[in-house]
Amino acid sequence: MELTKEEDRLLAGEKGPRVQECMRILTALGDLYGAKRLVPVWSVQLSGISFKTMGLPGTEFLEEMAAETKFAVPTTINPAGYDVGGPGLVHPSPEFKEKQDRIVSALMKLGAIPTFSCTPYTTDFAPPRGAHLAWAESSAVIYANSVIGAYSNREGAPSALAAAVIGKTPDYGLHRPEGRRPEVIVDVDTSKGPMLYTVLGAYLGKMLGQRIPYFRGIRPDLDGLKEIGSTLSAWGAVPMFHVEGVTPGSEHYEVRGLERLQVDAPAVGEFQRCLGCNETPQLVAIGCPHCTKGELIQIAQTVKKKGRKLKPGTELWVCSNRQVIQETAPAVEILRQAGAKVIQDTCMVVAPLGEKFSTVAINSAKAAFYMNRKSFSGQKVVFDSTENLVDRYL
């Protein structure tokens, strides 16, 4: 890579060993993928900040970083393992809470912005079109690329942390026009019935791997785009998708001659039946990825329409970030009056639920992917649409 004089000095250790270590990570990554330079980033999103995912070695490493350096650009952060900003609706063990608080303290010392959300684009820190980013949260990366028209690779935890310290990232992959090119056309046939976008993304994620799809036949709203992207990136490793007439810049790519896939409601519905079990849940959890304002309001309207309170023996979590919760206060109050817990700063995936909730009902195929895995949560899940979950448990 061709480094500037300032970058060379950082790599040589002029600003200390931690900054030097970050430069080594970025230059090694750039050399590996053939980047010619580092590009300044508008912001960074750090994932994996729950103690459930970071563990003690990661916690100690983060504390060492915080003792020696600061973030150079706005850096937002993923959900923590409990609602660290209150009001204390999630109850981890004292040991877990102590470790999580150490992580949060280190992040704040580094200069992180306390968004605690996997949807930073729903906050005041949403990036503009054309901005270069270094985001590590997969569902946020795919949304930024596909809906906003920003540019970000799917960063790992080390490279995102390094980019936050340096303020730059290697210029390769999704930062380059050629890296954003569609690779397969997906024709979605809606004539045979409706389908849940969260399931459509999961179904295709398994088929596509890392290939970038070009969708025809659908025109999702912003929340639908979020659902498709979150599951494309969870069930596959898709970093971006194009929706004809929607994705910024998609009109510049030639798609004639690409492989074509046909998708319809019966195929997606058959896949949906494999997502969950028929057991009785102790928790109904909505908000993976975190609810947007529109989603939170829609859930409240559905609950209000039913005119009932939560059935005994079941908890209902609706997860979002602090800003969305503050900006939808009337909807939040409707949910609370019905017996729901409106949860900030965490979610059903990264909170330590195993001891209290062995079976969780969810409306997200992304949550199903993670919570079904014994290496991550190991819980049994019941899967259904938001409206059906509300109808069954209220």
**134-161: average pLDDT:** 98
Which pair of tokens denotes residue 198? 């969260």
In tens, the pLDDT along 44-98 reads 999 999 999 999 999 999 999 999 999 999 999 999 999 999 899 999 999 999 9
As annotated, the residues of the chain forming the CATH 3.30.499.10 domain(s) are 283-393
What are the two backbone dihedrals, phi and then psi, of residue 41, each rounded to the nearest 5 degrees?
-110, 150
pLDDT score, position 375: 66
In tens, the pLDDT along 11-20 reads 999 999 999 9
Q: Is the pLDDT of residue 174 over 70?
A: yes
Paired residues of 263 in beta bridges: 188
What does DSSP say about strands 341-344 and 315-320: parallel, antiparallel, or unpaired? parallel
Could you tell me how far CA 272 lies from the centroid of its own chain?
Answer: 21
- Architecture of the structural domain at 283-393: 2-Layer Sandwich (3.30)
Distance separating alpha carbons of residues 114 and 279, to the nearest angstrom: 36
For the chain, the straight-line distance linking the first and the last C-alpha, in angstroms and rounded, comes to 58
The string of DSSP codes covering 126-193 is: PPPTT-BEEE--HHHHHHIIIII--B-----HHHHHHHHHHSEEE--GGGSGGGG---EEEEEE-TT-
pTM of the model: 0.96
* Three-state secondary structure call for residue 261: strand
In tens, the pLDDT along 334-378 reads 999 999 999 999 999 999 997 789 999 999 999 999 998 776 777
Burial (CB < 10 A; 0-12, 13-18, 19+), residue 236, is: buried
- Identify the CATH class of 5-177: alpha beta
**258-282: average pLDDT:** 95
Q: Is the pLDDT of residue 130 over 70?
A: yes
